[in-house]
């Protein structure tokens, strides 16, 4: 009992010190209410002070709440001060460009970042309004900025927000110009953030220069230029930005490229931080694109496209010929886009990640094109090959595609949507569809059937327990075949890879959500041109594989 009292007193003292330094009256009131609820609110207070948010796969990300283990004005002030200090220590010169989405707190966090930058004597350029993440990534390169910050939580639930950092060419090098940070920059920035003293001593300047719409116009023009100007444009598209910030930019890009403006899901067209029509604003989640499919069916469109709320991801749905629609997997869209670029004669490095399908590797091997495989995250994909070959295309199975690295060195849901539309319009002119092209690829390379086992948890210790279990009792067989490779990527990455001659499993914690993910793949040869039969066999095999992996994880 005495130990519990001591822990509670220590927590109370830490919270009071935080209150004394918190610049936001609203979050101070919020934390005082938690303190007033002690001792009953002890677990909540402990969670808020469990530790500071740290840079993960996509920078800082967490729930909007007071305390160091949340996204709030104090945490953002500290992060901005650390980043600006690190840039100065590295000798970085030039402006910091800052973008933000339409989530709660995003604009205030962006403006505070600009104030910290100008307070330190560094120019700050603020995007003109809530805009997609790829516009910020483009702006870092286009404006020659020393770095960029994007305030967004992408497709996380409404209660979250986040803070992504990009470096310009000066400190990131040519490969990392306009790309998300990687080691050792992330550790250096993290250390600089922890070294920031009292926030009351962080000097604040004006909120920087607000950029004009000419920047957005420049992005739209470059995006439209990604596709062939002589290509077909006869295509009807249904679209949703899922209450995010992609709608105006995507429709402008489609019009600039010569396509008919897509029909937009009416009650998801405008940014809304509550995301009222979906349980999770992620097009991969069940039910998230139901309204999109309904619109596509009602208008008899050729294609349905969804962006996630910050429009760096692109989801695609297609009619199946029997009056139904199905979502294409990220691996299917990745293969289609890669094949499309290859058929257009685009040579250079093609890259994906260790959790994506092995089909791209097979395509590159057959067509004599360089290929590389990286850890998950576009910060690694855009640096694939180490510069030995120019990257021309990269993708990851989580609906992220980079079709024009010289335009945006990150995943970009706008240019991906344009490229899918270009491919679909060309096939339509031949009386064919995206699924026809997928069947052609399967006939040539075999059916590469992928699926995912995703386990959402309330306590991150559950994920650690599942990873420990699979490491301690690694399966010796999968689908009746001997496991020929069991690779553990620790300490570099918390990933376990299992391979047989017929299947592959990759298990890892999510870098952005409280989930454990197991990525499943079965490759089934096509006999006598019967793709449908091979798909049926592959689907059955993946269903069995899912059960085996669930057992190995103790589910």
Which residue of the set 27, 106, 154, 357 is catalytic? 154
How many residues does the structure list for the chain? 555
CA 190, CA 491: separation in Å to the nearest integer? 19
d(CA 518, CA 509) in angstroms, rounded, equals 9
Helices and strands, number each (H, E), in the chain: 18, 23
* 455 SS3 class: strand
Helix axes 413-429, 434-445, angle to 10 degrees: 90
Buried/exposed code over 16-50 (b: 16+ C-beta within 10 A; e: otherwise) = eebbebbbbeebbebbeebeeeeeeebeebeebbe
* Tokens representing residue 147 in the block: 């770095």
Q: Both tokens of residue 293?
A: 């499919």
Alpha-carbon distance of 72 to 299, in angstroms, equals: 43
Distance in angstroms (rounded) separating the CA atoms of residues 84 and 76: 12
Contact call for residues 412 and 137 (beta carbons, < 8 A): yes
Return the C-alpha torsion angle 337, 343, 344, 348, nearest 10: 80
Phi, psi of 80 (to 5 degrees): -65, -40
Residue 347 token pair = 């040579």
CB atoms within 10 A of CB 383: 22
What's the rounded Cα separation, in Å, for the pair 516 and 416?
27
Active site residue 454: no
> CB burial class (10 A; 0-12, 13-18, 19+) of residue 432?
middle
Residue 146 in 3-state DSSP?
coil
9 vs 543: CA distance, rounded Å:
52
User: Do residues 294 and 325 make contact, with C-beta atoms less than 8 angstroms apart?
Assistant: no
CB 165 within 8 A of CB 149: yes
Tokens (6 digits) for 115: 């104030």
Residue carrying the six token digits 């980043």: 83
Distance CA 205, CA 120 (A): 8
Hunting for tokens 């969670």 — which residue is that?
47
**What CA–CA distances, in Å, run from 214 to 143, 217, 254, 547?**
12, 5, 18, 53
Please state at what angle helix 213-224 crosses helix 413-429, rounded to 10 degrees. Answer: 30
Number of C-beta neighbours around residue 499 at 10 A: 18
How many CB atoms are closer than 10 A to CB 408? Answer: 32
What residues are annotated to the active site? Answer: 154
């Amino acid at each position: 009992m005495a130990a519990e009292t001591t822990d509670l007193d220590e927590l109370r003292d830490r919270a009071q010190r935080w209150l004394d330094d918190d610049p936001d009256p609203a979050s101070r009131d919020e934390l005082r209410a938690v303190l007033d609820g002690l001792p009953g609110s002890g677990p909540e207070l402990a969670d808020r002070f469990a530790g500071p948010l740290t840079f993960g796969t996509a920078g800082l990300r967490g729930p909007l709440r007071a305390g160091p283990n949340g996204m709030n004005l104090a945490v953002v002030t500290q992060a901005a001060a650390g980043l600006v200090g690190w840039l100065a220590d590295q000798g970085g010169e030039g402006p910091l460009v800052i973008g933000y989405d339409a989530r709660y707190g995003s604009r205030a966090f962006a403006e505070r970042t600009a104030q910290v930058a100008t307070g330190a004597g560094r120019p700050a350029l603020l995007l003109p309004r809530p805009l997609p993440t790829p516009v910020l990534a483009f702006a870092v390169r286009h404006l020659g900025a020393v770095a960029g910050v994007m305030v967004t939580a992408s497709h996380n639930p409404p209660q979250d927000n986040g803070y992504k950092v990009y470096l310009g060419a000066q400190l990131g090098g040519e490969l990392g110009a306009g790309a998300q940070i990687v080691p050792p920059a992330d550790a250096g920035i993290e250390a600089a953030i922890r070294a920031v003293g009292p926030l009351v001593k962080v000097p604040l300047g004006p909120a920087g220069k607000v950029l004009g719409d000419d920047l957005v116009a420049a992005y739209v023009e470059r995006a439209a230029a990604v596709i062939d100007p002589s290509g077909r444009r006869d295509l009807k598209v249904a679209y949703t930005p899922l209450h995010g910030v992609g709608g105006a930019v995507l429709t402008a890009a489609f019009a600039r490229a010569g396509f008919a403006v897509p029909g937009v899901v009416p009650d998801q067209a405008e940014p809304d931080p509550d995301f009222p029509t979906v349980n999770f604003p992620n097009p991969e989640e069940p039910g998230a694109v139901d309204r999109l499919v309904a619109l596509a069916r009602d208008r008899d469109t050729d294609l349905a496209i969804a962006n996630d709320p910050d429009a760096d991801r692109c989801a695609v749905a297609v009619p199946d010929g029997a009056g139904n629609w199905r979502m294409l997997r990220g691996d299917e869209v990745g293969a289609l886009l890669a094949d499309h670029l290859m058929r257009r004669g685009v040579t250079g490095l093609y890259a994906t990640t260790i959790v994506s399908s092995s089909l791209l590797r097979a395509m590159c091997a057959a067509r004599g094109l360089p290929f590389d495989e990286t850890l998950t995250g576009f910060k690694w994909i855009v640096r694939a090959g180490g510069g030995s070959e120019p990257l021309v295309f990269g993708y990851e199975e989580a609906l992220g595609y980079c079709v024009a690295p010289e335009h945006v060195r990150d995943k970009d849901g706008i240019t991906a949507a344009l490229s899918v539309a270009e491919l679909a319009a060309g096939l339509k002119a031949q009386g064919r569809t995206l699924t026809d092209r997928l069947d052609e690829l399967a006939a040539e390379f075999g059916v590469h059937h992928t699926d995912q086992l995703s386990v959402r948890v309330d306590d991150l210790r559950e994920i650690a327990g599942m990873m420990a279990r699979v490491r301690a009792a690694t399966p010796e067989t999968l689908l009746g075949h001997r496991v020929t490779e069991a690779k553990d990527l620790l300490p570099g990455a918390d990933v376990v890879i299992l391979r047989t001659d017929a299947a592959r499993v990759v298990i890892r914690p999510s870098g952005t959500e409280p989930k454990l993910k197991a990525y499943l793949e079965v490759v089934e040869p096509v006999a006598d041109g019967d793709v449908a039969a091979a798909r049926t066999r592959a689907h059955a095999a993946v269903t069995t594989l899912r059960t085996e992996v669930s057992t190995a994880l103790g589910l």
